């Protein structure tokens, strides 16, 4: 269960809390949608098709933290999708994954977890594992 107002996740086995973690959920305009979901896909090495950087042929980031739906691509660059290790999709493009966790809402809607917790949850979750997001 993810408590957005606390920026915390609570991991349950049955009715017992077996772990907690800090998280970073969606920033203003990219809110993480509250609701009751289930894991619908697991992808250990997921790469975003929407968020990332525009990079030139030399590998230099020309425009960072872009949204391909909103940010125009500079000439001579290519899109490099953001890495989202231990991705657990639960609602359309939303998922839980390892990432930077600054203890405030900073994502584009996904739930970021510290790498150790993301790996642990990924290894123990199955498709159909419940995911509850509360404001």
Contacts of 122 (CB under 8 A, 6+ apart): 42, 44, 86, 87, 88
Distance (Å, rounded) from C-alpha 14 to C-alpha 16? 6
CA 19 to chain centre: 19
Q: What is the pLDDT of residue 62?
A: 98
Q: What is the pLDDT of residue 90?
A: 98
Q: What is the pLDDT of residue 108?
A: 94
Number of domain units in the chain: 1
97: helix, strand or coil: strand
Long-range contacts of 56-62 (CB under 8 A, 24+ apart): none
Q: What is the pLDDT of residue 103?
A: 85
Mean pLDDT of 54-67: 97
Q: What is the CATH number of the domain that holds 86?
A: 2.40.440.10
Closest CA to 128 of 58, 7, 36: 36
Q: What is the pLDDT of residue 28?
A: 95
Tokens 């408590």 belong to 3
Structural domain boundaries, residue 14: 2-134
**What pTM, to 2 d.p., does this model score?**
0.92
- Quick: pLDDT tens for 74-93: 999 999 999 999 999 999 99
Q: What is the pLDDT of residue 105?
A: 98
What are the DSSP E strand ranges found in the chain?
Answer: 2-3, 8-13, 16-22, 35-38, 41-55, 61-67, 78-91, 94-98, 111-113, 130-134
């Amino acid at each position: 269960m993810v408590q957005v107002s606390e920026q915390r996740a609570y991991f349950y086995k049955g009715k017992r809390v077996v772990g907690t973690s800090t998280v970073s959920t969606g920033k203003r305009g990219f809110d993480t949608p509250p609701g009751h979901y289930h894991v619908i896909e697991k992808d250990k090495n997921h790469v975003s098709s929407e968020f990332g950087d525009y990079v030139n042929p030399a590998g230099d980031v020309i425009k960072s933290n872009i949204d391909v739906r909103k940010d125009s691509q500079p000439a001579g660059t290519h899109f490099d999708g953001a890495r989202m290790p231990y991705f657990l999709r639960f609602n359309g493009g939303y998922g839980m994954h390892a990432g930077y966790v600054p203890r405030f809402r900073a994502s584009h809607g996904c739930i970021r977890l510290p790498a150790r917790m993301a790996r642990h949850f990924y290894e123990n979750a199955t498709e159909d594992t419940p995911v509850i997001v509360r404001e």
